[in-house]
C-alpha cells in the first residue's frame, strides 16, 4: 500500500468513527429520561406562634433579672475597687438603700490586705409576687469564692434575701440581707 492510500484509508476510518460517535450521542440524547419523583408529605403553612408573654410573666422576668443582676454585682468585688460595684448599682436601688450604702462607704477604713469575692447566682425564688403587687421579696442562693491576701480560696454557699419595690414602673432593690 502506498502512502497516499494509507492516508485516505485512515481519513475514511476517522470520518466513520466520528459519524458513529455522533449517531450514538444523538441516540442517547433522544432516549426518554426516567425520573423518579418523591413526594413530600403535604405541609400546612400553619406556623406555631409563640404565646405572647403576659403582664405577670413580664413582671416576673423583670423581678428575676433585677434580683439576679443586683446580687451578682453586689457580691462581686475587691477591696481595691473603691466600691464601684455598689456605686454602679445605685440606679437599681431605692433612695433609702442608696443612703445606707453611702453611709457605709464613708465610714469604711481601707485595708492594705488584698481581698476579693466573686458571687455566682444559682437561682432566684420569688416568694410572694402577685400581679399588680408593688412590693415583693426574693431569695437568691449563691456560691461565693473568696480570695484573701495569701491568695487562699474559700468557697461558700449563701442565700441573700432581696426586697424589691416598684418605683415609676421599674423594680428597685429596697433591702438586701
* pLDDT of res. 37: 60
Q: Compute the Cα dihedral for 106, 150, 89, 144 and give only its sign.
A: negative
Residue 105 belongs to what H/E stretch? helix 95-107
* pLDDT of res. 39: 59
* pLDDT of res. 43: 59
List, in order of start, the domains of the chain with CATH numbers.
Answer: 55-176 (3.10.450.240)
Question: For residues 41 and 124, which has the higher predicted lDDT (pLDDT)?
Answer: 124
- Mean pLDDT of all residues in the chain? 86
Answer whether 176's CB lies under 8 Å from 160's CB: yes
pLDDT digits (tens, 9 = 90+) for 46-100: 677 777 777 778 888 999 999 999 999 999 999 888 899 999 999 999 999 999 9
Per-residue pLDDT band at 17 (split at 50, 70, 90): confident
pLDDT digits (tens, 9 = 90+) for 106-159: 888 778 888 899 999 999 999 978 877 899 999 999 999 999 988 899 999 999
Amino acid at each position: 500500500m502506498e502512502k497516499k492510500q494509507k492516508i485516505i484509508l485512515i481519513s475514511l476510518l476517522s470520518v466513520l468513527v466520528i459519524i458513529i460517535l455522533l449517531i450514538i450521542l444523538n441516540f442517547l440524547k433522544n432516549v426518554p429520561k426516567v425520573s423518579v419523583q418523591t413526594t413530600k408529605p403535604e405541609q400546612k403553612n400553619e406556623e406555631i406562634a409563640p404565646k405572647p408573654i403576659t403582664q405577670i410573666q413580664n413582671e416576673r422576668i423583670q423581678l428575676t433579672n433585677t434580683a439576679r443582676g443586683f446580687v451578682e454585682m453586689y457580691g462581686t468585688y475587691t477591696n481595691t475597687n473603691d466600691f464601684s460595684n455598689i456605686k454602679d448599682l445605685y440606679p437599681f436601688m431605692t433612695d433609702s438603700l442608696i443612703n445606707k450604702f453611702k453611709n457605709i462607704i464613708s465610714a469604711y477604713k481601707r485595708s492594705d490586705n488584698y481581698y476579693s469575692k466573686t458571687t455566682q447566682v444559682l437561682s432566684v425564688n420569688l416568694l410572694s409576687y402577685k400581679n399588680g403587687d408593688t412590693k415583693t421579696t426574693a431569695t437568691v442562693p449563691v456560691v461565693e469564692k473568696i480570695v484573701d491576701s495569701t491568695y487562699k480560696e474559700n468557697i461558700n454557699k449563701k442565700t441573700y434575701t432581696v426586697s424589691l419595690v416598684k418605683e415609676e414602673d421599674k423594680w428597685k432593690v429596697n433591702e438586701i440581707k
